[in-house]
Structure 1
Amino acid sequence: MKKNFLAVCFPAVLFLSGCGTYSDWLPASGASREQVQEKHDSGRVDGIQVVDVNDALARRLADSKKLGQFSSTFASSTASNYAIGPGDMIEVTIWETPPAILFSAMSSASSPTAGSNTSSGSNTSSGVTLPTQMVAADGTIVIPFAGRIAVSGCTTEQIEASIVEHLQGKANQPQVLVGVAKNNASNVTIVGEVNTSTMMPLTPKGERLLDALAFAGGFKQAISHMAVRLSRGNVTGTMTLDSIIRDPKQNVLLKPGDVVTALYQPQTFSVLGATGKNDEIPFEAQGISLAQALARSGGLNDSRADARGVFVFRFEDAKLVDNKDPSLRSTNGTVPVVYEINLRDPASFFVTQNFPIQNHDVIYVTNSPGAEFRKFLSYVAMVADPAITFTNDLQ
């Protein structure tokens, strides 16, 4: 029997070997580690740059992927950003210390609800509430005996002080109270993946970013997949919602004219090769590391995987790549890059914790040479077994 097996198996091995390298014709989920590296010692494979990942590179990539912080991009004082603007409806009440000079007649002629005290007695403080008026397009309002007063960009306290200053020497120790009957100028626009796109009027309280999102009714999607974009003038910044919630400093004060956009960012990566599962896996807007990505795919298959051959295929920002080939042109600012990680090196497990995964990455784990050889032997046995059976039948 042994003689028959060797007589049939050995020619079968020679025949299969004659068909070329066995890895070329055996079924496989992708290229082997050697096939990825075999083209050039310069680190390029068919116009794709192959980069060995170390801790310094992983940290540099992680830093480049970090979004700017609102606390630095939109730095502002802790005071309210509310200010009067054209279109706001203003209500002004003026008091004079007895004896009233200017506003006693107006107070007497007004309704009992016009001022806090409408008595015209010489020893009684009198006040009058002026008709509600809209701030003009040039940012001014009209006050009797004071004329036009510029109020655009001012707080109510500043307007009160300005009116008092204009009445000095005309009214008897005037006191002024300014209120906003209707806010038409200081608004924040909230759009995107919120339940209700709307405009939120600002108040002297000082509304913040999360106040605006709550005012719009919250989000349509899961918070973990949401990002927030804040646009102020010519400056725009984006942060993940998780980051804003975790760090109160990022919940910045809003200013008139700000635009808050809620962004749904359903990010995914694909994992192929010798892992626990091959799948397209979603991840949070906050981002994940390569270590987390491998864990979510079930880790490496220890009966198949070549731990030296873990690759991340990505269209990378050309500015982040040390291009070793001048002929390699970027497309839309990106170049194809293959990042290689050797998990046989214990230090690489620290590297994987810093290496950031980005949207549409492809993680590929190669089969080990031993797994490929076992596959080859199974084919030899499959070819040899019918021949052995046929030989035994002849005997």
Structure 2
Amino acid sequence: MPAAFETTTADDELPQIQSPSGRYVLGPGDVVSVTVWGHPELSGKRVVGPDGEIQLPFVGSFRVAGLSADDAGRKITSALREDYLNTAASITIDSYESNQVIVLGHVAHQGVQTFSGDPTLLEALAKAGAAPSTKDDLTGMPTRCAIIRGRDRIMWVDLRPLLRGKDVSLNIPLHRNDIVFVPDQDDQLVYVMGQVKNPGPYPMTANMSFLEALSRAGGPNDNAQQGKIVLARPSNNTEQVVDLEDFVHQNGSNDQLEPGDIVYVPKSGMAKVGYVLQQLNPLATMALFAAAL
């Protein structure tokens, strides 16, 4: 059975995390120029649609998402040769829009960032105004951040060795749609993961409740099993399964969260008592990639 939730904390997992995707692949929103030699009526600018396809007049749709520009050109060439003799197609990228990451938290510029290649953690932090121009002045710089990948994985990074230039292995290549969260040094965090709109760590507020944390993350989505939401407390190695409807009807008694608590909303049929906490034990110590200096 796959892990319900994964937190990366060990140095020996870095090579897997750092596997670069290599070359830029097309995705929804990218703007490309299609050139079909000898057929200007088929050529021109195209936008990759939400379905990953581009439209060629008189020919039809071609799915290019997930392909490099060269591979997409070869795919279109192969398809056109069924109806057009001695022709070839090429694709160039005019605007990189789909290769994006989101930087949130205590940074100067929160929000979506787009990159023409594979961005690194340091590039994303610098673009968001959370990294120094030189390693000699770290005044006010963040000490840690979380990389949220998908709905089930958080990677915590100690930024101090990276920003000082002492451990470049921590400059992790980011994947498309990663979220980088930079907490304040004094933030106490809870985690809302799984089938919610915006999974990730959230700063605690005074008397923060289970329902408040869930609402901060946008609430359960259509794939959620709302009858078996897991509330785990790694600090004392306990876990309970909450039926959301029953919980609301009971006015959420005794639902105040503590720092480090995890609210995990599973897909239908995945959660069971004792299972999620097995996956979450590393959070109890909140170990980071690099030892504190």
- The two structures have a TM-score, normalised by structure 1, of 0.40
| 2:34 is the counterpart of 1:92 | yes
Residue by residue, what CA displacement relative to the aligned partner does 1:317-364 show, whole Å, maximum 9, x if unpaired? 446xxxxxxxxxxx9699xxxxxxxxxxxxxxxxxxxxx9x9xxxxxx
CA contact (8 A) 1:84 1:153 kept: yes
The separation in 1 between residues aligned to 2:105 and 2:52, in whole angstroms, is 32
CA contact (8 A) 2:130 2:141 kept: no
Residue by residue, what CA displacement relative to the aligned partner does 1:204-253 show, whole Å, maximum 9, x if unpaired? x3211111111112359736651011011021111110244432222222
CA contact (8 A) 2:131 2:141 kept: no
| 2:76 is the counterpart of 1:171 | no
The separation in 2 between residues aligned to 1:225 and 1:143, in whole angstroms, is 48
Q: Which residue, 126, 129, 132 being the options, matches 2:45?
A: 132
Q: Following TM superposition, by how much is the alpha carbon of 1:257 offset from its aligned partner in structure 2, in angstroms?
A: 0.9
Q: Which residue, 149, 152, 155 being the options, matches 1:237?
A: 155
Q: Which residue, 215, 222, 227 being the options, matches 2:144?
A: 227
Q: Where is the helix percentage greater, Structure 1 or Structure 2?
A: 1
The separation in 1 between residues aligned to 2:21 and 2:96, in whole angstroms, is 21
The separation in 2 between residues aligned to 1:222 and 1:264, in whole angstroms, is 14
CA contact (8 A) 2:130 2:142 kept: no
Q: Following TM superposition, by how much is the alpha carbon of 1:254 offset from its aligned partner in structure 2, in angstroms?
A: 1.6
1:248 counterpart letter in structure 2: V
Considering only CA atoms, is the larger Rg found in Structure 1 or Structure 2? 1
CA distance change for structure 1 residues 332 and 210 in 2, over 3 Å: closer, same or farther?
A: closer
* Counterpart mapping for 1:153-192 below 5 A: 153-192=66-105
Q: Following TM superposition, by how much is the alpha carbon of 1:156 offset from its aligned partner in structure 2, in angstroms?
A: 1.2
> Hey, what does 1:366 align to over in structure 2?
none
What SS does the corresponding residue of 2:160 show, helix, strand or coil? Answer: helix
Of all paired residues, the percent bearing the same amino acid is 22
Q: Which structure 2 residue ranges, 5 or more long, are not aligned?
A: 1-7, 133-137, 188-233, 238-256, 261-284, 288-293
Q: Following TM superposition, by how much is the alpha carbon of 1:144 offset from its aligned partner in structure 2, in angstroms?
A: 4.1
CA distance change for structure 1 residues 232 and 146 in 2, over 3 Å: closer, same or farther?
A: same
CA distance change for structure 1 residues 332 and 151 in 2, over 3 Å: closer, same or farther?
A: same
What SS does the corresponding residue of 1:255 show, helix, strand or coil? Answer: coil
1:227 counterpart letter in structure 2: R
Q: Which residue, 19, 29, 45 being the options, matches 1:76?
A: 19
The separation in 2 between residues aligned to 1:143 and 1:265, in whole angstroms, is 52
Residue by residue, what CA displacement relative to the aligned partner does 1:26-78 show, whole Å, maximum 9, x if unpaired? xxxxxxxxxxxxxxxxxxxxxxxxxxxxxxxxxxxxxxxx9444725634236
What SS does the corresponding residue of 2:74 show, helix, strand or coil? Answer: helix
CA distance change for structure 1 residues 259 and 225 in 2, over 3 Å: closer, same or farther?
A: closer
Q: Which residue, 161, 167, 172 being the options, matches 1:252?
A: 172
Residue by residue, what CA displacement relative to the aligned partner does 1:93-115 show, whole Å, maximum 9, x if unpaired? 1224xxxxxx1xx47xxxxxxxx
Q: Which residue, 207, 222, 233 being the options, matches 2:119?
A: 207
What SS does the corresponding residue of 1:85 show, helix, strand or coil? Answer: coil
The separation in 2 between residues aligned to 1:77 and 1:211, in whole angstroms, is 15
Q: Which structure 1 residue ranges, 5 or more long, are not aligned?
A: 1-65, 97-102, 108-127, 268-315, 320-330, 335-355, 359-395
CA contact (8 A) 1:225 1:266 kept: no
